[in-house]
C-alpha cells in the first residue's frame, strides 16, 4: 500500500541501519516533488462501470427524440439525424473511457470549432441541457453517474456558447 500523497512534497525518511557487510548506513531524509500528479477524471471512469456501448446509444436516441420536438434546437440540426446520433454516441463512449472510434474516424474532437457554425447562446445551451437531463434520467445504467455526467455536460455546454443571447 503506497501512502504517498497524489501531489506536493514527498518526504521519505529511514532510520540508519547496518548493511550486510557490517557498514553503518546513515539515515536519510529525501525530499522530492511529484511533478506529474495523477489527476482522477471521474468522467473517464464511467464507461468501464457501464460496461458496454448499448446504454450510450439508448441515451443518444432518447436525447435526439427530444431534439426532434424542440423548437429551439431542431432548426440547428440536419433533417436526417442518423449521423448526428452516431457521432454523439461515439464521442461520449470515447470521452468516458471507451473505444476511440470517434477520433479514429473523425480526428481530434475540436468540439468548440465544430460547433461554431451553429449559433449557441444561453437559450440553446439550456434547451440542450434539458433534453440531455431528461434522456439521462431514462437510462438506468447512468443512474450511478448522474452527478458526474450532469456536471460534465453543464461545463461542456457552457464552453460551447458562442454568441450573446
Ligand atoms: C450547448 C448546446 C449545444 C448545441 C446547440 C449543439 C448543437 C450541435 C449541432 C447542431 C451539431 C451538428 C449535428 C450534425 O451536423 O450532425 C452538433 C454536433 C455535435 N455535438 Fe453538439 N451541441 C451542443 C452541445 C454539445 C455538448 C455539450 C456536447 C458533448 C458533450 C456535444 C457534442 C456534439 C458532438 C460529438 C457532435 C458531432 C461532431 C462531429 O463529429 O461532427 N454538443 N451539436
11 in the same domain as 76: no
CATH code of 136's domain: 1.10.490.10
Kindly state the average pLDDT of the residues 127-154: 98
In a domain, 112, yes or no: yes
pLDDT exceeds cutoff 80 at 110: yes
Question: 38 alpha carbon to ligand 1 midpoint, in Å?
Answer: 30
pLDDT in tens, 14-61: 566 666 667 766 665 555 566 767 789 999 999 999 999 999 999 999
113 in the same domain as 69: yes
Cβ count near 129 (within 10 Å): 16
C-alpha cell at 57: 446509444
78 in the same domain as 21: no
Cβ count near 149 (within 10 Å): 20
Q: Which atom of ligand 1 is nearest to the CA of 158?
A: 1
**Average pLDDT over the chain, rounded to whole?**
88
The mean-pLDDT minimum among 5-19, 26-40, 132-146 falls in 5-19
In a domain, 68, yes or no: yes
Give the chain's domain count: 2
62 in the same domain as 25: no
| Residue 44, ligand 1, Cβ within 6 A | no
| Cβ–Cβ < 8 Å for 141, 55 | yes
Range of the structural domain that residue 22 is part of: 2-34
Amino acid at each position: 500500500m503506497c501512502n504517498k500523497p497524489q501531489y506536493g512534497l514527498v518526504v521519505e525518511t529511514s532510520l540508519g541501519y547496518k548493511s550486510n557487510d557490517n557498514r553503518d548506513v546513515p539515515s536519510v531524509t529525501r525530499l522530492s516533488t511529484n511533478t506529474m500528479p495523477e489527476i482522477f477524471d471521474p468522467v473517464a471512469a464511467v464507461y468501464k462501470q457501464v460496461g458496454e456501448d448499448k446504454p450510450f446509444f439508448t441515451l443518444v436516441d432518447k436525447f435526439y427524440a427530444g431534439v426532434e420536438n424542440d423548437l429551439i434546437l431542431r432548426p440547428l440540426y440536419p433533417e436526417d439525424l442518423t449521423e448526428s446520433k452516431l457521432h454523439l454516441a461515439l464521442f461520449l463512449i470515447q470521452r468516458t473511457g471507451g473505444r476511440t472510434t470517434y477520433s479514429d474516424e473523425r480526428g481530434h474532437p475540436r468540439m468548440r470549432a465544430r460547433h461554431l457554425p451553429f449559433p449557441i447562446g444561453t437559450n440553446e445551451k439550456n434547451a440542450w441541457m434539458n433534453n440531455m437531463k431528461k434522456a439521462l434520467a431514462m437510462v438506468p445504467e447512468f443512474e450511478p453517474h448522474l452527478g458526474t455526467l450532469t456536471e460534465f455536460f453543464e461545463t461542456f455546454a457552457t464552453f460551447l456558447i458562442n454568441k450573446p443571447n
